Structure 1
Amino acid sequence: MATINVTVQMSGGMELLFSNQSTHKLTLPRFYDPSTTIHGPSPPSSKPEPREDGQGSKETDVRFLVWWLRWFALEDRERPELYSQGETVRPGILVLINSTDWELEGELDYVLEEKDEIVFISTLHGG
């Protein structure tokens, strides 16, 4: 089955939400079905299996990555609002795709490519 390998970096305090790990090497399915993942039952019962392109499939994008991180990497699943709101990250989190602001890359619709690096940086700090 088709998969894709990406690196996710967390900084600025984001790593505290993800088991104090700043780097995550992920193998994700190359295609996903939004009706059984993002718009499916919450929380999902298991990680989605890699699938071939077909009816109802979408190429893995940042929207799927945000969803996947929320359900399978976030340490405190009882408080997902610390990381995301709806399909996107909460305000105050800067997202870079291969060192470029995600706004220039299409934000949630950016289709992930092999060996992409996605960085999540919290810009909110207590004081």
Structure 2
Amino acid sequence: MVTAEDSNGAKQLTIAVEFSGGLEMLFSDQRRHSLALPAVDKDGRASNIGFLIDHLCQHVMRDTRRELFVLGGHLRPGILVLINDADWELEGEEEYELRPGDNVLFVSTLHGG
């Protein structure tokens, strides 16, 4: 799969993002999203998971309780991330450079009681 271009000619990549374990409630109760993202961030570097997390908070999340997803600019502890079915810890965590067709799954492992 190759990257596409937006109306301004900027390279875009399309990925799938999924939420589970209650996180979907922060994203309009929608479990699966297909996103077209800029292939490079504002600094000219390849878009990575850190960029994706910020993009999700800025453009996809409609819930005001961002602290349930991010704390201190990083993903909240207790959220498992799988990139193409592999634990993100094996892929470089936030530094993993996104590729067209990637599937990123965020799963909350925290449950109230």
Aligned to 2:84: 98
Where do 5+ consecutive residues of structure 1 fail to align?
34-55
TM-score, structure 2 as length reference:
0.88
The aligned runs of 1:80-95 (5 Å cut-off) are 80-95=66-81
Distance 2:41 2:90 in 1: 24
1:13 is aligned to 2:22: yes
Corresponding position of 2:59: 72
Map 1:26-41 → 2, pairs under 5 A = 26-33=35-42
Q: Distance in 2 between matches of 1:86 and 1:126?
A: 22
- CA-based RMSD of the aligned residues comes to 0.9
Larger helix share, 1 or 2? 2
| Unpaired runs of at least 5, structure 2 | 1-9
Which runs of structure 1 show a deviation greater than 2 angstroms over 4 or more consecutive aligned residues? Answer: none
How far, CA to CA, are the matches of 1:92 and 1:16 in structure 2?
A: 16
Identity %: 45
Counterpart Cα distance in 2 of 1:85 and 1:111:
22
Count of residues in Structure 1 that have an aligned counterpart in Structure 2 = 104
